[in-house]
Amino acid sequence: MIIYETDRLILKTLSEKDASSLFIYFSKNKNFLEPWESERAPFFYSSAYMKHWIRKDNKQIADGQMLRMWIYKKDNSSSIIGSVGIANIEPMEYLAEYENMENNNLISVVEQKKFQKATLGYRLDRDFINRGYITEAILKMVDISFNELDLQLLEANIASDNTASIRAIEKCNFSKKSCVKEGVLLDGKLKDYCKYIRVRD
């Protein structure tokens, strides 16, 4: 199990014994979350599927493909109130061109460089919005991504009408890069979305 703490929160990965808590979280927030997430199959809302999802998450974490942390309040460490994580961790390559001196001659040098990026995602319990919890959790995940996992770029894809999510990501110093019309399928509907990015300093 991986555990981090912030001023008010505990962020941790789950084991199969947490399946019932995860089921309670998703069942409670079904109507609140559905407009902003991929359409769920009916069997998603079951403790059996929660166990499967936890196992899949933990395998991908072990393989270095993603890191999803579940959010708990320090003053109530038995109830999940949301999640924050990164996925699609992948190396990227680019060509860097610069000038250098060689034998007193100025030459142009092109090198192939690599960096790693990932996609950030998050969700919160409907009863805990507008209290700064998700901002606190995102900032911790940014710190982990840049300073422990050595990522250079984080991206967040957000539906254009999800104003609460946009406010949260902007508070965490992400900037809008681009928007796509009807580019994402959420809750069975095509929606416009915008890509927000933050580059490591």
Q: What is the mean pLDDT of the chain?
A: 89
Question: How large is the average pLDDT for residues 171-185?
Answer: 87
The confidence score (pLDDT) of residue 110 equals 62
Tokens of residue 7, six digits: 């001023």
Domain harbouring 154, CATH code: 3.40.630.30
Residue 21, Cβ neighbours under 10 Å: how many? 16
Condensed to tens digits (0 to 9), the pLDDT of residues 26-64 reads 999 999 998 888 888 889 999 999 999 999 999 999 999
Confidence category of residue 97, pLDDT binned at 50, 70, 90 = low
Mean pLDDT for 72-90 is 93
Please tell me the predicted confidence (pLDDT) of residue 17: 94
Domain count, the chain: 1
Question: 134: Cβ–Cβ under 8 A, 6 or more apart, which residues?
Answer: 71, 82, 84, 122, 124, 168
Output the pTM of the full model. 0.86
Q: Which domain holds residue 162?
A: 3-199
